[in-house]
A = this chain, B = another copy of it.
């Protein structure tokens, strides 16, 4: 007998709509088998959600069913899908790319277009504006109870979503903000390994700001000046721009998608005093 799996929910739809998904799930599942991850993601921000879902969900045990509802095209042309990955995890949501980076990370993805008639857990047809409740939730419940995704739909090539790749040329690097966290920290796609060994300063440009030498800190506490931005390695493994006791997003007036550039002084080529001016 198939062991039951956890179902996680990651959405931008808020508590009230998410609660309706939980109602459906608990018609099939036992106590505690549904885990809320986030329901307050930025509205319709598919790329940011794809990045966060990969980060969060890849930490769950193999075999978990992850449902993502960031779905501006609900009821339209994008397909409702389920993706089975190599580790037995299953991803459920719209085929708009939000599941793609997680599917790649987990590996071996096989995707299926969900067929409402095969999911059919009730006589009510799915609404055109809330497939999260009417199709994804019952499909996730069936998958958590051991149903094979092949039995709920037909194979399809799912839509890829390539998160932006940072570039590095000589003493310059260019990436962008992928997520603004609750503290206003800017989480970028630049690998933390590109930062110089501490301590020191890194000339940095965020959005359309001036170039500015920022302190490179290892922890928030190490940031030397309050209410000034600094760079450090984020818990995502990437470069983070942070303002101690403040918000880097407000400091720079930027949000997800803003470019972030780093420049290193070629060592020994110039006197330090000038470069750091």
Contact = CB atoms under 8 A, between A and B. Distances in A.
Interface in A97-152: 127-130, 133-134
A17 B221 contact: no
A129 B32 contact: no
16 contacts: A15-B39, A16-B38, A16-B181, A17-B181, A20-B235, A23-B57, A27-B61, A30-B32, A32-B32, A32-B33, A74-B220, A76-B219, A127-B233, A128-B218, A128-B233, A134-B235
A199 to B, nearest CB: 14
A219 B75 CA distance: 6
A49 B43 CA distance: 23
Interface in A1-18: 4, 6, 8, 10, 12-17
Given A19-B38, A43-B183, A129-B220, 10 more contacts: A4-B31, A6-B26, A8-B19, A14-B182, A20-B59, A27-B61, A30-B31, A72-B221, A73-B219, A127-B234
Nearest to A242: B129
A212 interface: no
Contacts of A75: 218-221
Q: Which 6 pairs between the two chains have the least Cβ-Cβ distance?
A: A32-B32, A23-B59, A14-B182, A130-B235, A31-B32, A75-B219
A116 to B, nearest CB: 15
A101 to B, nearest CB: 15
A190 to B, nearest CB: 15
A249 B26 CA distance: 32
Interface residues of A, number: 68
Given A23-B59, A75-B221, A235 B38 contact: no
A172 interface: no
Contacts of A65: none
Contacts of A219: 73-76, 128-129
A36 to B, nearest CB: 7
Q: In the complex this chain forms, how many copies of it are found?
A: 3
Contacts of A10: 19
B31 A26 contact: no
Interface in A158-196: 179, 181-183
A81 interface: no
A240 B129 CA distance: 10
A59 B24 contact: yes
B59 A221 contact: no
A15 B32 contact: no
Contacts of A179: 16
A275 interface: no
Nearest to A131: B235
A56 B25 CA distance: 12
